[in-house]
Structure 1
Amino acid sequence: MAKSTSKEAQPDQHWVRFVTDGLVEKYIKIDDILSDGGAIPPYSGQFPKQAMKTLKSALTPDAHRRLSGRFRKYKYSAKHNTTTLTIKDETLQRLKAIADKARLGNENYDLILEYLMDPEWEIQTAKEHVAELKMPTGIDVHDKGQLLRAKLRFRASTFQYMLSLIEDAFKMGFLACKAMHAKKRTSAAIQEAANEHLDRLKGL
């Protein structure tokens, strides 16, 4: 019993960092606070149990559960040296497809990412497998531009050539739009015009 009391008397360093980093205030919104003044009472910066007991009477039940969950997740990540990686679901599915082709467990993302960063040429076959599946990407136009630039970082002339093609496509689209009657600017008509322009670029 004395051992448990001694342990509880030691400040929780994870909570100390959680508070010092301002995460309590970050995860509490104005609407979460029950008092009219929108202020939370002083709470322990060393002992999470005491702090949560104090905050329980000042916050809505949902906000209190959310804050408690945030701290548990923060503490788990700190103890196990993990971090949260946020990606689009489409990107996740592509990673799982690569893992499946390489016969890796598709839940061990450390292993999957290490596999992709390995310079061995044979990894290309797994990437080609995903390309053949034509799985959708979750990145937007801006991110696609960054990805293209990263791929062509050491081929500046090729990148400039790609930019000129994009500029040309924009101008062609603008002129085609002006020439087309408003009632005929349907999605199907626009896609057909875009396909014709792409075919010309491909030399078809």
Structure 2
Amino acid sequence: MKKMFNIFGFPFFYLMLTSFGLLQTVSKAFNGSYLYALNAWPKPNPENCRTNPGYQLYRNKNVQMCLKFYVFNSPVPYRQGMDRCDDQSAIVGVFNTMEKLEILQRQTRCVWVNFRIGALYSTVLVWAPIDFEEIYTYDKHGKLFRKDYEWDSTAYKIWKRWVYYPGNICGIYHPKYKRLVVDDCQAPDKFLQDCGYNVVCELMQFTREDL
């Protein structure tokens, strides 16, 4: 029995240990190469924003956004602007915090942003059609707009201009007041006649809010 163990048992046991050690080595090598591959894979870096033609990195406080501004000669339906951004794997820019909004306010150009009154045309502002993108509510985004009169549920302002109309609303950056203000897209007495209509595209993978 002892002889059999020496002949068969020890080599077999030794082979098992060797195989197990080899398996561990292979496993470590695989895990190492896998982790290396993960680390080597290019992570979204805001600095890479500039490698996309026409896009630029905008920074404000704790926020970085990768944006591209399109200028049109006439009012642009939201869907058309969305399609333009989609062509570049981008979305129409979402400026749902004060820090993001200030990025627009600091630009020297006029910026057109599409707003829409909510389902009841009273209590919410929506970034685009009702079921799409960011819904602006007073509770969540109170710093972006305010009610002028508590008794009037429709009297909202974003900074200096009434949001009073059902339907499509434009948000326009006004260089005089250094604010993003709003006006009816079709209003004949539009207060900023020479303002260019723009769509702002955002590459979300480069946006950071944790600086």
* Fold shared by both chains (TM-score > 0.5): no
Q: Which has the higher contact order (CA 8 A, sep 6+)?
A: 2
More helix by share: 1
More strand by share: 2
Q: TM-score, normalised by structure 2?
A: 0.23
Q: TM-score, normalised by structure 1?
A: 0.24
